Structure 1
Amino acid sequence: MSGHHADTAHAHSHPHGHPHGQKHQPSRRSLLAAAGGLLIAAAVPGSAYAADTRTASGTAPAPRAGASRTSLVTQGTRLVHADLHNHTLMSDGDGDPALAFASMRDAGLDVAALTDHATLFGISGLSQSEWDRTRQLADAADDPGTYTAIRGFEWSNPFIGHTNVWFTEQFVDLGGAISMSALYNWLGSRDGVAGFNHPGREAGRFDNFAYVAAAREKMVSVEMFNRGDDYLFDGWADHGSSHLNACLNAGWRTGITGVSDHHGTEWGHPEGVGRAGLWVTENTRAGVLEALRARRFFASRYSGLRLDATANGVQMGGVLPLASGSGDVRFAVDLDRGPEWAGKPLNVQVLRPGTDAPVVADVIETTSGSLVEFTVPLGVEDGTWVVLRISDPSQPNGQPGPAGHPCNDLGVAYSSPWWLQP
């Protein structure tokens, strides 16, 4: 083990409001079978929400811890908590879309998106009128500087995979883009960005992440936390490779995100499901889009968590120049979740490419509330990316990989990668 701990950072809690009382409304799930079952894979999570993570309608959620939004290792940006993957009655969710943005704001999120499914000609997903309504709801909820509400959609091919798209003026379903190449072509002429959702849940795994150079800057994210699942090794027995390895080794430059993929009526409130932390210059749509394009974000399994990290002074998501193609890289990792986690033992795992599973170049013991610095030798000849995974060594990974792998403990957070460049 290497590394040392700096002084514990000060942190404070953030109050969270109450969810709106809601009446249960029928979902479109009854329509899905008639529409050919296009969304069945999307409607069945890898692991269902535990009943005790739901908030009973009209009751206050449990108080949540939260760290300060100011980084200990970088300047010029501020942390915002985000959930960029949510569903409503407009596709296969249970909830009234008119309540979603307020629910997420009440839950303490700073950035939220609605991303209902676009399937085939609006039969079981978004119609044009619903796409227009999503814009109206997002515009009404958007509060620049305080709360950013975003319209998006989930392109949904039941065999190849699902992709979230944000910040486009139009949406496309399978009638307009049936394949990954068609989707990349559609994205190419538009200003928005997109991400790979729950990789491997659909058997085709985005044509096994076949790389398309022209789409590299459009595809900004890959989900590692979705609902309660860690997708580092999910489906290992079927795929035999880590989804993270498959994506990054193919050449994609995706940041790493977490999402709730919420299909219920308590958007933002369930705890222990994925979410993201974005380092933004301002909490506006323009600021969020800039942070996504810069891959300046991380995935978290828990609310209120702050993760920032630099490698030789370069913030996560950046290009890391190595003068001779290799050398010692100094990492600084700021990790905190406020008073509730003060002193909680955690590991920082340094993930490197490897053939099927990531190679763990080092494991550094730390605690929540600490700034930890350590040095790891890195070389481009061993692969062009490095990711930091934060784990809880006291709990197992519910989706383990190869026997004995260091990442078979519980994932807490992932940094976005750094890309090594000679």
Structure 2
Amino acid sequence: MNELSRRSLLAGSGGLLMLATTPGTASAAATTVAGAGATGASRTSAISQGTALVHADLHNHTLMSDGDGDPARAFASMRDAGLDVAALTDHTTLFAIEGLSQSEWNRTGQLADAANVPGVYTALRGFEWSHPLLGHVNVWYTGGFTDLGGSSSMSKLYDWISRTGGIGGFNHPGRELLRFNNFRYDAALREQMVGLEMFNRGDDYLFDGWSSGQSSPLTACLNAGWRTGLTGVTDEHGTEWGYPEGKGRTGVWAVENTRNGVLAALRDRRFFATRVSGLRLDASASGVRMGGSLPFARGDVRFVVDLDRGPEWAGKPLNIQVLRPGTTAPSVADVIETQAGRVTEFTVPLDLEDGPWVVLRVSDPSQANASPGPAGHPCNDWGVAYSSPWWLSA
């Protein structure tokens, strides 16, 4: 389908999304999907109740930093493209050189407020703290911003986020040389650093830097102690916000499509990373939803995975890889063959002595990973999605 016809289809479609309710709890709010795509799965989970899926892109740029597009067009473009949640996160640098000024920060807030329609479309203002060596960090849900003049190190940035009560995420992890001081852990920020980008633009960051002797960003981050969920983002720098297929996005399981509803889901790590539009991934481990803690140190864990992308992918062969801590790359405890459009159940023994976290990676075994890891590694195929982790506790 060409770009013009896809735009027409997306802009002309839509519909009501009713969030499911859990017996004995308050009813979830009705939500209108801004522009449901021509293909894609239902927003209702086949295995859990009380939330519905909203498609999000939390990392985008405009002319206010190093993007090409008019910021006044960005939120409308992402809504027309079928996204339900969208953020503008222009860079903050030093002295606003190719980065946000105070007036531009204010304008971003005005644009987000004008585009935000509670229950229909969530528009967010954020910023990307950008250090050329340490790395880039997205920050959302703050009233102000900080740059390299005010926060010149990871510790100063963490202090700023802690004071303001915002949330943050590690961007394109591994691209910059020092990798957030190799993901040095700060326990005070554990709850506020909610995200790690696994898909950025068209790239899968699982093995980024591995060929040059670095460890997987996923293992480096989670082994360090961070409890991040996993995201996918477009990181748009052009003018096609929301439209390019094959770039990252995040599926968020929200009680309601509002700023508070999305914030609650992000804080609970109730989301997944993908780089295909219209994908639905929901998963539980021994009854605990992705992003949660498993209250035992060892034992057999029963996974239930809902995986769908609508009629276009019905019956498509996929793999579910059970990722566990490793050194330079994650280990793989099991690989389960499945198909899109079905609920898959399987059991895997887990032991806290092998490491505290587990992640599910969904892949297409018919395509190769453009950034492979060790020879023969099961994740050297094409990544479709990542669940947020679960954490074992003693």
Do both proteins adopt the same fold according to a TM-score greater than 0.5, normalized to the shorter chain?
Answer: yes
1:371 maps to 343
1:401 maps to 373
1:254 to 228, 232, 250: 228
Matched residues, number: 364
1:72 maps to 46
1:416 Cα deviation (Å)?
A: 0.1
| 1:286 aligned counterpart, secondary structure | helix
Using the size of structure 2 for normalisation, the TM-score is 0.91
1:336 to 291, 300, 308: 308
Q: How high is the sequence identity, in percent, across the aligned residues?
A: 73
Gaps of 5+ in 1: 1-13, 19-60
2:136 to 145, 162, 165: 162
2:243 maps to 269
| 1:405 aligned counterpart, secondary structure | coil
1:237 Cα deviation (Å)?
A: 1.5
> Are the counterparts in 1 of residues 210 and 328 from structure 2 also a CA contact under 8 Å?
no
1:238 Cα deviation (Å)?
A: 2.1
1:346 to 318, 321, 324: 318
> Are the counterparts in 2 of residues 78 and 281 from structure 1 also a CA contact under 8 Å?
yes
> Are the counterparts in 2 of residues 15 and 108 from structure 1 also a CA contact under 8 Å?
no
| 1:123 aligned counterpart, secondary structure | coil
RMSD: 1.3
> Are the counterparts in 1 of residues 60 and 90 from structure 2 also a CA contact under 8 Å?
yes
1:15 Cα deviation (Å)?
A: 5.6
1:215 to 189, 197, 202: 189
1:199 Cα deviation (Å)?
A: 0.3
**Structure 2 vs 1, CA of residues 182 and 229 (structure 1 numbering), >3 Å: closer, same or farther?**
same
* CA deviation profile, 1:203-244 (whole Å, cap 9, x unmatched): 010000000101111100000000000000022122431100
1:148 maps to 122
Gaps of 5+ in 2: 1-7, 13-34
2:211 maps to 237
1:165 Cα deviation (Å)?
A: 0.2
The question of 1:181 aligning with 2:175 is answered: no
Q: C-alpha separation between the residues in 2 aligned to 1:297 and 1:401?
A: 25
Q: 1:4-403 maps to which residues of 2 (within 5 A)?
A: 16-17=10-11, 64-322=38-296, 325-403=297-375
| 2:353 aligned counterpart, secondary structure | helix
> Are the counterparts in 2 of residues 104 and 268 from structure 1 also a CA contact under 8 Å?
yes
> Are the counterparts in 2 of residues 350 and 363 from structure 1 also a CA contact under 8 Å?
yes
Of 341-350 and 232-241, more deviation after overlay is shown by 232-241
| 1:17 aligned counterpart, secondary structure | helix
* CA deviation profile, 1:153-189 (whole Å, cap 9, x unmatched): 0000011000000010000000000010010011111
| Runs of 4+ off more than 6 Å | none
Q: C-alpha separation between the residues in 1 aligned to 2:262 and 2:96?
A: 28
Structure number with greater CO (CA < 8 Å, separation at least 6) is 1
Using the size of structure 1 for normalisation, the TM-score is 0.85
Letter in 2 for 1:308: D
Q: C-alpha separation between the residues in 1 aligned to 2:107 and 2:141?
A: 15
Letter in 2 for 1:126: L
1:278 Cα deviation (Å)?
A: 0.3
* CA deviation profile, 1:355-385 (whole Å, cap 9, x unmatched): 2211100000000001000000001111100
Q: C-alpha separation between the residues in 2 aligned to 1:230 and 1:123?
A: 30
* CA deviation profile, 1:326-357 (whole Å, cap 9, x unmatched): 10000000000000000000000000001221
Q: C-alpha separation between the residues in 1 aligned to 2:162 and 2:217?
A: 24
* CA deviation profile, 1:256-281 (whole Å, cap 9, x unmatched): 00000000001000000000000000
Q: C-alpha separation between the residues in 2 aligned to 1:168 and 1:318?
A: 25
* CA deviation profile, 1:51-106 (whole Å, cap 9, x unmatched): xxxxxxxxxx9x64110000111111110000000000000000000000000000
| 1:16 aligned counterpart, secondary structure | helix
Letter in 1 for 2:362: I
Q: C-alpha separation between the residues in 2 aligned to 1:172 and 1:189?
A: 12
2:24 maps to none
